[in-house]
Structure 1
């Protein structure tokens, strides 16, 4: 994620972490949190297959990582 250890500790103390952030952490840890997050369960997604949500999260996380790398490059210039 490119975040400091302090940032991670503060994240775990925050009671309102976004679902996107939880999915990103799960992706890094190779753990699927979707079974534990009510809004990602298949019956809540109007019968949308769960694999679609994982794919969507994958591409969103990939985009965020590229955006962070791009911003780091801009800072160096």
Structure 2
């Protein structure tokens, strides 16, 4: 049975594409990057792998400004 369309997102740490449910979503809340665990935090999100190196790259990156 076909699953249908599964949206893909790009990890902002390493650039790997994956289904959105395989990546963590982060949003800026009061200027701080916060993990969106329930998927309903308002605002533009950034997706990242669950690997520590990717999360560290994302935290240092200027790309998080685009999430605001």
| TM-score with structure 1 setting the length | 0.22
Higher RCO (CA-CA < 8 Å; seq separation 6+):
2
| TM-score with structure 2 setting the length | 0.24
Question: Which has a greater percent of helix?
Answer: 1
Question: Which has a greater percent of strand?
Answer: 2
